[in-house]
A and B are shown apart, each in its own frame.
Chain A
Amino acid sequence: MSPRRLFAMAFKEMLQIWRDPHSLAIALLMPMMQMVLLGYGISLDIRGVPLCIYDQERSQTSRALVQRFVASDWFTGVRVLDSDRAVREVMDNGDCAGVVTIPVDFSRVFTTTGSGPVQAVFDATDSNTTNIAIGYAQGVVALTTADFEMRWAQAHGLLPRTVGAVDFQPRVWFNEGLESSYFIIPGVVAVILALVGAQLTSLTISREWERGTMEQLISTPVTALEVMLGKIVPYFLIGLFDAIFCLLAAIFWFHVPFRGSIVLLALTTALFTVVVLGIGYLLSVRIRSQLGASQIALILTLLPTTMLSGYTFPIDQMPAPIRAVSLLVYARYYVTILRAVFLKGSSALDLLGPILALALYALAIVWIAARAFRKSLD
């Protein structure tokens, strides 16, 4: 290994990157675009669910309940319907995600028994959103009920029911506002780096083959290792730039709280960048066309990192075989690390498992990549 040759390779590669502003722009702008798209596009918080209410009773009590729904910002465009046919219609048209029906005898039943049934019909074609919306609706009803109970008790000269009930007061740690963006944005950073990183290096070796420069290159004394390192080093710098941009955007633009160590973040990010660049390089060695290599890199990184890294879909909820497969998805370790460093301020010791997994991955990829490229036309 000659430092001179390694430097010459890296320098040549940087000149080529610099002379190709088009691909440089892609390398730098793609992460920004993806950050905006994924950062804003993906949110598990559901706001403004369109809801309809069929108030059959139209009493003071029922209107109070309607008012609660109108006032909540979980639901928007709350429409009050006046017939069973209208209910059918709005559900069929998809105008409303759900309809809450307050029966004619709602207040009478409520005043006599202290509880009144309310029916809710939801469109469950999107079951996930519906589940969350049902939860919100129950929340609205529970709040209203508590209010009603209080008034009912007062009207009957009784104390509100306090004895015998378990007072459940949940507190959530690390993400007190239960903002799903805190959970998702660090994952988005990992996904973007995985995608962009593999893309960057997937073109390097195939470009030499396609442009016909490989034959002359391999006739020189340059070693396979020098070629690999010389090609990865410039992209490592670009990858780190992308990473810094995405992490800063997460902190200052998406306001994800950062509670951990910057050094730990930097080291693990560098480790992850090595892995993703190594994967792209390996593909580039195997596939001699630029288009082919970048397509395969996209397919190989997009699905596993989005589906199996745990950045939106929790890995513990997956069936055991899929969970086992996800162990191979290097992005999951970085997602875990990012989340923990950002939200919990975890230390390297807390994250020993994922850090070791990532380091092992980096070693294995570099080891394989260093042996993958053969200086031969065969």
Chain B
Amino acid sequence: MTVPPDDPAIRAQGLVRSFGPVQAVRGVSLEVRRGEIFGLVGPDGAGKTTIMRMLAGVLRPDAGEIDLGGIDVVAEPERARAELSYMPQRFGLYEDLTVGENIFFYGELFRVPHAQRRARSGQLLEAAGLAPFRRRLAGQLSGGMKQKLGLVCALIHTPRVLLLDEPTTGVDPVSRREFWAILYDLRDSGVTILLSTAYMDEAERCSRLALLHAGLVRTCDTPSGLKRAMAGALVAVVAGDPRAVHAALAGAPGVLGRLLMGDRVHVRVDDSDRRVPELRALLAGRGIADAAFTAIEPGIEDVFVALLGPEEAA
């Protein structure tokens, strides 16, 4: 490759794609750097899957360009195939084939030399904890194991870029942690990973994030950069009846946003030193005396809500 090493692994410019009257992606530009884990974050319907499919070269954009390390993916999707690996959101492997047969099949499709396939599949299966299940039908694996098998098949040809569309949706927390451990190892070995997720806690683990909404990238930065850029300060209000707190704070002066989070309400205020006593008084006036206020660090979800408003981000 004659591409300079600091060139981005993926550069997408002005991607547009409609399905009938629905504009799923309305002009998205992205740059994914080599060796980073880049997250596409957004609610369902934000256009994550459509972007992933276009980047993987399985869906043609109506407009826009995609450059994958010097390969024009839109014009020559077949050339890009050997460089990248794509794991669709829906489990894409053959459930009536065993773990080993699926790996063999994908290894053959990418023409991986036999010795290399054997070595690499052994290594990957070991890392994924799937080694004992080689002879099991893929359809009989748990959700987490299926996703890990998908990853093994996607990695069998040693791609430089990995595209994962919501890889951990429906996967239990333990399997998710294991899955992420594999992703970190991959990143360390120089693989560029682009993944989409609707889980905010997962977004925190990415090197950089693009917050996606209604087919547009709203903002793109590192998780900490996004949090720093959020206006105002965040206060968690814990009370016996969080719903009442949520309702009482509607339209209160200085309140920029509020988000119901289980037993608490995250309230974004312009100035916490000034507003906390005011809000405490306001709640007491509404008969909520047990409210406890704590200043907290914002999570990605808070950033998202601050950016879009609670209804939009839901």
Contact = CB atoms under 8 A, between A and B. Distances in A.
A165 B281 CA distance: 130
A7 interface: yes
Contacts of B58: 215, 218-219, 375-377
Interface stretch (A8-16, A101-109, A137-145): A8-16
Interface of A: 2, 4-5, 7-9, 11-12, 15-16, 19-20, 211-223, 375-378
Per DSSP, are chain A's interface residues mostly helix, strand or loop, or mixed? helix
B59 A219 contact: no
Interface in B140-158: 150, 153
B74 to A, nearest CB: 12
A219 B91 contact: no
Interface in B42-78: 53, 56-60, 77-78
Interface of B: 53, 56-60, 77-78, 81-82, 85-88, 90-97, 101, 104-106, 108-111, 137, 150, 153
A1 to B, nearest CB: 12
Contacts of B81: 219-221
Contacts of A223: 78
A328 B59 CA distance: 36
B59 A221 contact: no
Contact of A16 (B59, B82, B97, B104): B97
Contacts of B104: 8
Contact of A20 (B91, B96, B106, B150): B96
B109 A221 contact: yes
A12 B94 contact: yes
A222 B96 contact: no
A218 to B, nearest CB: 5
Nearest to A211: B95
Max chain A C-beta neighbours (<10 A), residue from B77, B93, B96, B111: B96
Closest 5 CB pairs of A and B: A216-B92, A8-B108, A219-B86, A212-B90, A215-B88
Contacts of B59: 376-378
Contacts of A12: 94, 97, 101, 105
Contacts of A16: 94, 96-97
Given A216-B87, A219-B57, A219-B81, A2 B111 contact: yes
Nearest to B153: A216
A221 B88 contact: no
A212 B88 contact: yes
A7 B96 contact: no
**Residue from B59, B81, B108, B150 with most neighbouring chain A CB atoms (10 Å):** B108
A298 to B, nearest CB: 24
Contacts of A378: 59-60
B97 A217 contact: no
Q: Name, among A4, A8, A19, A220, the residue most crowded by chain B CB atoms within 10 Å (CB to CB).
A: A220
A221 B82 contact: yes
B96 A213 contact: no
B88 A220 contact: no
A215 B60 CA distance: 13
B93 A213 contact: yes
Contacts of A7: 108
A4 B91 CA distance: 25
A89 B137 CA distance: 69
A20 B95 CA distance: 12
B96 A4 contact: no
Nearest to B95: A211
Contacts of A11: 105
A216 B90 CA distance: 9
Given A5-B108, A5-B111, A221-B78, A213 B60 contact: no
Contacts of B86: 215-216, 219
Contacts of B57: 219
Given A215-B53, A217-B92, 18 more contacts: A7-B108, A8-B104, A9-B109, A11-B105, A12-B94, A12-B97, A12-B101, A15-B101, A16-B96, A216-B86, A216-B153, A219-B57, A219-B58, A219-B81, A221-B81, A375-B77, A377-B53, A377-B58
A215 B163 CA distance: 13
Contact of B109 (A15, A213, A222, A377): A222
A215 B110 contact: no
A11 B88 CA distance: 23
B108 A216 contact: no
Given A4-B111, A219-B81, A378-B59, A15 B97 contact: yes
A376 B60 contact: yes
Contacts of A220: 81, 106, 109-110
B96 A221 contact: no
23 contacts: A8-B104, A8-B108, A15-B97, A16-B94, A19-B97, A20-B96, A212-B90, A213-B94, A215-B53, A215-B58, A215-B88, A215-B90, A216-B86, A216-B150, A216-B153, A217-B92, A219-B86, A221-B109, A221-B111, A222-B109, A375-B77, A376-B58, A376-B59
